[in-house]
A and B are shown apart, each in its own frame.
Chain A
Amino acid sequence: MKTDEFIDITSEHCPMTFVRVKLKLEEMAKGQTLTVRLNGGEPLKNVPRSLQDENYGVSEAIADGECYLLVVTKI
């Protein structure tokens, strides 16, 4: 699935993982989609949950080698 924007947060640690995603989403228009590439473990547990808390649409995570991909929709 092709999305409007892409961000890789695999080199970041909490809380900068979510900070980077949030700042990226703030720059985007409503209805646009963002692919987030993130690590398993803490980021995979926390980032989707934080995004849902702030009312973003979040897809199921898809494995991408050792990492995961999430598609986030700005509602």
Chain B
Amino acid sequence: MVDQTSWMERYSRQILLPEIGGIGQKKLAKCSVGLVGANSMGLPFFLFGVGAGIGRWGVIDTSKSRAKEMDQQAKLRNPEINVKLFSPQKLKENVASWVNQWSIVVDLSNDSTIQLQLSSACQLTGIPFFSACCHGSTGLLFQAPCPFCLLTAPPQPTLSKKKSDLATMVPGLIGTVLAQKIVKFLLEPGVRLSPGLTSFCAEDSTFTNLTPYMNKSCPTCNIVNN
């Protein structure tokens, strides 16, 4: 049972905002996020999401210690939040049943194989899907239905797993922007997630918003439709 006074004090700044208020704050507590990737993008995303009061989290990462650290950070910052850690094996067993238990799914793994798998499962189950990746001084944020509509050929997993010279602030910034995006999305009742792509360039600190169109040769959409 959550103490009403401590709840009000914890979220007072958000309750004061006309776009959130007490109703929005209670709504966030009932929302859940399935997050893949407890990395330098995933950590700020998670901490801002936890701070905002999103009530239930499922975290998958190849590193057990990183996922555990996230859980500990969450408990320190906001003990009212429920975090459950999952092994990456979950995605191999039954990805559709895993994604189906969350309000939204977020992929920050920076791994195109996982991104494709989650994107397809989210399309099948109708769960809103967000993902982001970083390379060098560029960050990309995708929102459903499908980040792969932008590609002309299926992604090469080996390319995205290659170590890149990430500008250290870019993943943190992208994770933070994504947290803000999903809080806004979760608060808007009945809004269907429209396809979107936001690109950030650290060279000149600019954001560009694009609207991707459905691609007939998209690898994800082909899997879902066939």
Instruction: Name A residues whose Cβ lies closer than 8 Å to a Cβ of B.
Output: 15-16, 18-20, 22-23, 26, 50, 53-54
Please report whether the interface of chain A is mostly helix, strand, loop or mixed according to DSSP: helix
Across the interface, B12 reaches (CB within 8 A) one of A19, A26, A53, A54, namely A19
A19 touching B23, Cβ below 8 Å: no
Please report whether the interface of chain B is mostly helix, strand, loop or mixed according to DSSP: helix
**Closest CB in chain B relative to A20 CB, distance in Å:** 7
B8 touching A16, Cβ below 8 Å: yes
In the complex, B51 has a CB within 8 A of chain A: no
Which chain B residues lie closer than 8 Å to A22 at the CB level?
15-16, 21-22
Which B-chain residue is minimally distant from A14 (CB atoms)? B12
Task: Write the B93-121 contact mask toward A (1 if CB under 8 angstroms, else 0).
Answer: 00000000000000000000000000000
Which chain A residues lie closer than 8 Å to B16 at the CB level?
15, 18-19, 22, 50
Among residues 12 to 45 in chain B, which have CB atoms less than 8 Å away from a CB atom of chain A? Answer: 12-13, 15-16, 18, 21-23
Across the interface, A54 reaches (CB within 8 A) one of B8, B9, B18, B22, namely B18
B8 touching A26, Cβ below 8 Å: no
C-alpha spacing A20/B4, complex, angstroms? 11
Instruction: Name B residues whose Cβ lies closer than 8 Å to a Cβ of A.
Output: 8-9, 12-13, 15-16, 18, 21-23
Which chain A residues lie closer than 8 Å to B9 at the CB level?
16
Which chain B residues lie closer than 8 Å to A50 at the CB level?
16
Which A-chain residue is minimally distant from B14 (CB atoms)? A19
Across the interface, A23 reaches (CB within 8 A) one of B13, B15, B18, namely B15
B21 touching A15, Cβ below 8 Å: no
Which chain A residues lie closer than 8 Å to B13 at the CB level?
15
Which chain B residues lie closer than 8 Å to A15 at the CB level?
12-13, 16
Which chain A residues lie closer than 8 Å to B22 at the CB level?
22-23, 26
**Closest CB in chain A relative to B24 CB, distance in Å:** 10
B18 touching A19, Cβ below 8 Å: no
C-alpha spacing A53/B8, complex, angstroms? 21
**Closest CB in chain B relative to A40 CB, distance in Å:** 21
Which chain A residues lie closer than 8 Å to B8 at the CB level?
16, 19-20, 23
Which chain A residues lie closer than 8 Å to B15 at the CB level?
19, 22-23
Which chain B residues lie closer than 8 Å to A54 at the CB level?
18
The 3 closest A-B pairs by CB, nearest first: A23-B22, A19-B12, A26-B22
C-alpha spacing A15/B8, complex, angstroms? 10
Which chain B residues lie closer than 8 Å to A20 at the CB level?
8
Which B-chain residue is minimally distant from A26 (CB atoms)? B22
Which B-chain residue is minimally distant from A20 (CB atoms)? B8
**Closest CB in chain B relative to A17 CB, distance in Å:** 10
Which chain B residues lie closer than 8 Å to A18 at the CB level?
16
